[in-house]
């Protein structure tokens, strides 16, 4: 009997060895992957356990964690919430974060590599670890001015500093209140979120970086840059001044906005075409340049590439395959050309900065809990997109556009404003998309601005860039220049 | 072997020696060891409750400490009873059971705090009261059963009682279905009880008695195939009955774990009694065959297998009756890691039923791998003490019963903890001593009493010879 007993003892031993092994495998070897599982709510709750760092504008918090009594220990609260929602995003308990809450989650929650020693320190000392704070580049004056100027229109305003790439304003309307999405009540968050998703105004979309619209005439800046940079054209290069233009290989007809020819005379120069924002000469120019040359310039400006600021910016598009008719349409920003306000802001800022593109950035400084800076903003050059001479030529043409052309409503007394308006067609009966992009002062650019007004500004196909977008730009530029 | 008892007697304690009278007055060495260990166990239990309060509440609250003190008192009563009626009983069994029971209460209390339950809603309060009741049962067993051989007389009565207990949940109006398994009985909505837990003791007694009586016919005769001797067809009766019983538990009570427990217990005791591997092979073939057929035909069994094999698959995870619970338990264990979050500082309440089926995941989360190893070591030690009775015992019935009772604890641990940690498919059983549940506590404390009685007999053999 004892022989059998011994064998059964071994079986019992093996049973326990199996349990010891399985618990070890789960708690040691699989622990990391299980913690990283998106369904693991424990990891989510833990992310609330540390006092998350604040997001600051000019030293004032626009997002901060305040202690609560519930499961999560801290509640994320936003001040001036709707104004800064495109910047901060929100941090829901039951879904993915957005905005900087998402892009800088590692820093804010204190888990980024640069905070490794802090984590070790808090492990040893037993003090609760804290996340780093993030100071953004946003200028509260510019942000508020842009918010006010946009009024009740659907759209976006982006203001940048051409010499450094700092993003000074990022407004998107309609906006929402991130506070309602960060409450610790799953059902309330879900309900609010669904309500916002179903809202026809799409308030959750950050139009500055996520809205892709046909750029229309503001894209002419890219085409003109390509022409002048090529050396084959000057602002005075002339094209036949036609009242209508039949697209090659097609029966479709292109007209200038407002109909008729582009100014008087049998021929029209690039400078005039840009100043009066005419379509036909640009179509002719586009056909002479060819799609490849336009695409190369567009890509140098940042089209067809993804980048982050560190919010991910949707990729602006210049199509890869175009026939002649499509090339002609693309030359004034139609067909399948799409751009975000951020991308157009980069075009203006590049021209303003002598053709040198600076990487756009939203983060001024990351500040450790002990107030020592972990990372500070340094301007980064992306590349020389166009020569300084081409940039100067482009600037002059844009100044003329505001001073004596189609962008007249952006004029500011005593300041040379460079700019370009756009009125882009969507589908046949859809409202237009209205644009303004430019910078000021032209001789020493401090601010580059892009205004996007979607949905025709409520005027359907009657609104145009100079009517609605240019005055917004003017109002914002005045506010920041008079600071 | 049962007849060899008399022969052992003179070798042990020669009564004629003058020292033997003094022996009776010697300090009770075993009991003093037990007392010391008991005090340590009660101390750990109190510390666990206090840590839970500090971790989860942030302050110390006296209610459960008072209840816990009452429980400690009751355990000490059992200890005092042992000093009189089983002075040579194993000194480790009682402290281990006390410690496991206490840790279980601390963890259940911790989950009550998370769920905001207090008073009679608090599972910890009920568990404490049940523990008291269970220990009282154990004391009664110690006092009533002075000699385990008495149980041998009730072999067939035990078998009959076991079957009745098993069938009770199927009686209309009495049976209750909880999360799919019909293994509960209840009177009104008040008291619910899992008679299957008590049935396992009755079964162990029945198996031990039956096998001692019939081992010869089961082990001697048979036909040799290859190197193994297979039993005659007419001797297959018992194993077939047991198999049928287990299968009906699977089909009618929808309880895979209990079926596995009973059948496993029977096979092991059969093997120890007969020494024939062929029985085990035969039994395992029958059971695995039945389980495979069940997994193909019964939805709930099929689901259990799928949850086990493919737990992290989003489809299985999201399915009704899917692996949600299993995976939440894994998340909890992963969160615990090597050292755990500390009592009161994890989030075991996220996992469904964290205080009963999943208490081991809850403990793993807050005490970490280190804590689980300690708990598993306690179980292993408990089982080892039971097996000691088997090795050192002098009568076959006692040997078999001791091994059977301790093996049933070991197997139950394996089925539950193995289910939670994905060694085997998850089935609903309680973790002995730890999990919330009155019937389980009563049954396991009765096992404690029986093992104590058996271990005392083993050491005191001469007194039995009379």
* pLDDT at site B27: 53
* pLDDT at site A127: 62
Is A41 touching B (CB cutoff 8 A)?
yes
Interchain pair A4, B272: CB under 8 A: yes
The residues, ordered by sequence, that sit 6+ positions from B382 with a Cβ below 8 Å of its Cβ are: B92, B93, B96, B97, B100, B406, B409
Structural domain that includes position A250: 213-361+379-481
Kindly state whether residue A343 falls inside one of the protein's structural domains. yes
Kindly state whether residue A272 falls inside one of the protein's structural domains. yes
Interchain pair A27, B271: CB under 8 A: no
Interface predicted TM-score of the whole assembly (ipTM), two decimals = 0.89
Kindly state whether residue A64 falls inside one of the protein's structural domains. no
Kindly state whether residue A256 falls inside one of the protein's structural domains. yes
Write out chain B residues lying below 8 Å of A9, CB-based: 384, 387
Please tell me which of the candidates B350, B391, B418 has its beta carbon nearest to residue A42: B350
Domain CATH for A457? 3.40.710.10
* Tally of domains in chain A: 1
Q: Specify which residues A133 forms β-bridges with.
A: A367
Binning pLDDT at 50, 70 and 90, where does residue B10 land? Answer: very low
Give the distance from residue A249's alpha carbon to the nearest chain B alpha carbon, in angstroms. Answer: 52
Q: Specify which residues A244 forms β-bridges with.
A: A255
From residue B433, alpha-carbon distances to A159, B97, B102, B378, B457 in Å are 67, 7, 8, 11, 24
Q: What is the pLDDT of residues A13-38, one digit of tens each?
A: 999 999 999 999 999 888 888 887 77
Query: Which of A160-164, B64-68, B316-320 has the least mean pLDDT?
Result: B64-68
Write out chain A residues lying below 8 Å of B422, CB-based: 22, 26
- For testing contact with chain B, the best of A27, A30, A33, A126 (most B CBs within 10 A): A27
Residue keyed to tokens 């995003």: A89
Kindly state whether residue A260 falls inside one of the protein's structural domains. yes
Is B83 touching A (CB cutoff 8 A)?
no
Mean pLDDT, chain A, integer: 86
Write out chain B residues lying below 8 Å of A13, CB-based: 380
Q: What is the pLDDT of residues B43-67, one digit of tens each?
A: 999 899 888 888 888 788 777 777 7
Kindly state whether residue A300 falls inside one of the protein's structural domains. yes
Average pLDDT over residues A303-316: 89
Please tell me which of the candidates A5, A18, A27 has its beta carbon nearest to residue B338: A27
Residue of B nearest to A13 (CA): B380
Most confident of A244-248, A250-254, B5-9, B368-372: B368-372
Interchain pair A30, B330: CB under 8 A: yes
* pLDDT at site B20: 46
Please tell me which of the candidates B331, B399, B422 has its beta carbon nearest to residue A37: B331
Write out chain A residues lying below 8 Å of B332, CB-based: 42
Could you confirm whether A217 is annotated as catalytic? yes
User: Which of A112, A172, A217, A316 is the catalytic position?
Assistant: A217
Write out chain B residues lying below 8 Å of A26, CB-based: 330, 333-334, 421-422
Residue of A nearest to B340 (CA): A27
Q: How far apart are CA A421 and CA A437, in angstroms?
A: 6
What are the two backbone dihedrals, phi and then psi, of residue A249, each rounded to the nearest 5 degrees?
A: 70, 25
Q: What is the pLDDT of residues B366-417, one digit of tens each?
A: 999 999 999 999 999 999 999 988 888 888 899 999 999 999 999 999 999 9
Put simply, the chain B residues between 368 and 427 with a CB less than 8 A from any chain A CB are 368-369, 372-373, 376, 379-380, 383-384, 387, 390-391, 396, 399, 403, 407, 410-411, 413-414, 417-418, 421-423
Write out chain A residues lying below 8 Å of B368, CB-based: 27
Q: How far apart are CA A221 and CA A400, in angstroms?
A: 13
Residue of B nearest to A7 (CA): B272
Q: How far apart are CA A368 and CA A134, in angstroms?
A: 9
Write out chain B residues lying below 8 Å of A30, CB-based: 330, 334
Kindly state whether residue A114 falls inside one of the protein's structural domains. no
The b-or-e profile of A301-337 (16+ CB within 10 A means b, else e) is: bbbeeebebebebbbbbbbeebebbbbbbbbbbbbeb
Give the distance from residue B360's alpha carbon to the nearest chain A alpha carbon, in angstroms. Answer: 10
pTM: 0.66
Q: Specify which residues A245 forms β-bridges with.
A: A254
Interchain pair A45, B369: CB under 8 A: no
Q: How far apart are CA A107 and CA A369, in angstroms?
A: 11
Kindly state whether residue A118 falls inside one of the protein's structural domains. no
* pLDDT at site A157: 94
Interchain pair B417, A19: CB under 8 A: yes
Please tell me which of the candidates B332, B399, B422 has its beta carbon nearest to residue A42: B332
Half-sphere exposure of A289 (CA within 13 A, CB side): 37
Is A36 touching B (CB cutoff 8 A)?
no
- For testing contact with chain B, the best of A23, A34, A35, A67 (most B CBs within 10 A): A23
* pLDDT at site A124: 64
Average pLDDT over residues B282-301: 84
Q: What is the pLDDT of residues A381-405, one digit of tens each?
A: 889 999 999 999 999 989 988 888 8
* pLDDT at site B180: 66
Q: Give the 3-state secondary structure of residue A264.
A: coil
């Amino acid at each position: 009997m004892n022989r059998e007993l011994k064998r059964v003892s071994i079986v019992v031993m093996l049973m326990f060895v199996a349990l010891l092994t399985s618990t070890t495998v789960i708690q040691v070897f699989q622990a990391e992957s299980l913690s990283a599982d998106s369904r693991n709510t424990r990891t989510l709750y833990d992310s609330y356990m540390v006092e998350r760092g604040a997001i600051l504008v000019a030293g004032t918090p626009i997002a901060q964690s305040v202690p609560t009594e519930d499961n999560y220990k801290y509640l994320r609260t936003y001040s001036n919430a709707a104004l800064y929602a495109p910047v901060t995003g929100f941090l829901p308990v039951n879904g993915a974060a957005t905005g900087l809450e998402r892009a800088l989650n590692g820093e804010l929650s204190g888990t980024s590599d640069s905070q490794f020693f802090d984590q070790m320190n808090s492990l040893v000392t037993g003090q609760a670890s804290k996340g780093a704070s993030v100071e953004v580049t946003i200028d509260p004056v510019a942000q508020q001015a842009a918010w006010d100027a946009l009024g009740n229109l659907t759209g976006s305003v982006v203001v940048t500093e051409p010499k450094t790439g700092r993003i000074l304003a990022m407004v998107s309307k309609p906006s929402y209140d991130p506070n309602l999405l960060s409450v610790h009540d799953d059902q309330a968050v879900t309900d609010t979120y669904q309500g916002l998703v179903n809202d026809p105004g799409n308030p959750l979309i950050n139009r500055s970086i996520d809205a892709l619209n046909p750029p229309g005439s503001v894209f002419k800046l890219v085409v003109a840059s390509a022409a002048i940079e090529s050396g084959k054209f000057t602002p005075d290069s002339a094209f036949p001044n036609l009242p209508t233009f039949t697209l090659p290989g097609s029966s479709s007809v292109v007209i200038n906005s407002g109909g008729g020819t582009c100014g008087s005379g049998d021929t029209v120069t690039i400078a005039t075409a840009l100043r009066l924002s005419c379509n036909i000469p640009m179509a002719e120019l586009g056909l002479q340049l060819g799609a490849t040359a336009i695409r190369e310039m567009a890509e140098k400006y940042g089209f067809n590439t993804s980048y982050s600021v560190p919010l991910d910016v949707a990729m602006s598009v210049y199509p890869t395959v175009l026939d002649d008719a499509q090339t002609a349409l693309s030359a004034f920003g139609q067909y399948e050309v799409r751009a975000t306000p951020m991308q157009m802001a980069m075009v203006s800022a590049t021209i303003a900065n002598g053709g040198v593109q600076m990487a756009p950035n939203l983060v001024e400084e990351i500040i450790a809990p002990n107030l020592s800076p972990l990372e500070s903003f340094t301007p980064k050059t992306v590349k020389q997109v166009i020569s300084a001479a081409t940039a100067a030529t482009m600037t002059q043409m844009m100044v003329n556009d505001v001073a004596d052309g189609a962008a007249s409503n952006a004029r500011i007394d005593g300041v040379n404003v460079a700019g370009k308006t756009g009125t882009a067609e969507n589908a046949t009966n859809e409202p237009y998309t209205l644009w303004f992009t430019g910078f000021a002062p032209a001789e020493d650019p401090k601010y580059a601005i892009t205004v996007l007004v979607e949905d025709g500004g409520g005027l359907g196909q009657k609104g145009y860039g100079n009517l609605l977008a240019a005055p917004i730009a003017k109002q914002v530029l005045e506010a920041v220049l008079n600071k | 072997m049962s007849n060899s008892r008399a022969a052992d007697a003179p070798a042990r304690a020669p009564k004629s020696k003058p020292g033997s009278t003094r022996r009776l007055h010697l300090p009770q060495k075993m009991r003093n060891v037990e007392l010391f260990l008991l005090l340590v166990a009660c101390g750990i239990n109190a510390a666990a409750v206090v840590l839970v309060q500090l971790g989860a509440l942030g302050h110390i609250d006296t209610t459960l400490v008072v209840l816990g003190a009452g429980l400690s008192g009751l355990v000490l009563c059992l200890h005092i009873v042992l000093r009189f009626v089983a002075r040579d009983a194993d000194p480790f069994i009682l402290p281990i059971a006390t410690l496991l029971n206490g840790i279980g209460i601390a963890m259940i209390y911790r989950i009550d705090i998370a769920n905001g339950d207090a008073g009679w809603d608090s599972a910890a309060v009920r568990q404490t009261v049940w523990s008291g009741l269970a220990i009282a049962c154990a004391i009664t067993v110690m006092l009533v059963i002075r000699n385990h051989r008495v149980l041998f007389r009730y072999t067939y009565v035990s078998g009959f009682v076991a079957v009745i207990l098993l069938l009770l949940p199927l009686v209309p109006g009495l049976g209750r279905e909880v999360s799919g398994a019909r293994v509960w009985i209840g009177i009104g909505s008040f008291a619910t009880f899992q008679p299957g837990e008590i049935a396992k003791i009755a079964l162990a007694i029945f198996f031990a008695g039956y096998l001692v009586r019939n081992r010869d016919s089961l082990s001697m005769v048979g036909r040799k195939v290859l190197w193994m001797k297979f039993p005659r067809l007419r001797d297959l009766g018992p194993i077939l009955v047991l198999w049928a019983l287990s299968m009906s538990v699977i089909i009618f009570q929808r309880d895979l774990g209990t079926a596995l427990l009973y059948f496993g217990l029977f096979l092991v005791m059969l093997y120890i009694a007969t020494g024939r591997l062929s029985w085990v092979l035969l039994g395992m073939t029958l059971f695995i065959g039945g389980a495979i057929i069940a997994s193909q035909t019964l939805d709930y069994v099929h689901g259990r297998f799928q949850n086990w094999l493919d737990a992290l698959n989003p489809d299985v995870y999201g399915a009704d009756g899917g692996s949600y619970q299993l995976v939440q338990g894994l998340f909890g264990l992963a969160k615990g890691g090597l050292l755990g979050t500390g009592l009161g500082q994890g989030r075991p309440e996220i996992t469904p039923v964290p205080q009963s089926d999943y208490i081991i995941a809850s403990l793993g989360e807050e005490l970490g791998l280190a804590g689980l190893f300690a708990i598993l070591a306690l179980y292993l030690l408990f089982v080892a003490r039971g097996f000691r009775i088997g090795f050192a015992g002098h009568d076959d019935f006692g040997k078999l019963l001791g091994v059977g009772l301790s093996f049933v604890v070991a197997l139950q641990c394996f089925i539950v903890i193995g289910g939670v940690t994905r060694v085997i498919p998850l089935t609903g059983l309680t973790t002995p001593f730890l999990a919330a549940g009155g019937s389980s506590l009563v049954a396991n404390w009765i096992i404690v009493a029986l093992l104590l009685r058996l271990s005392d007999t083993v050491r005191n053999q001469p007194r039995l010879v009379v």
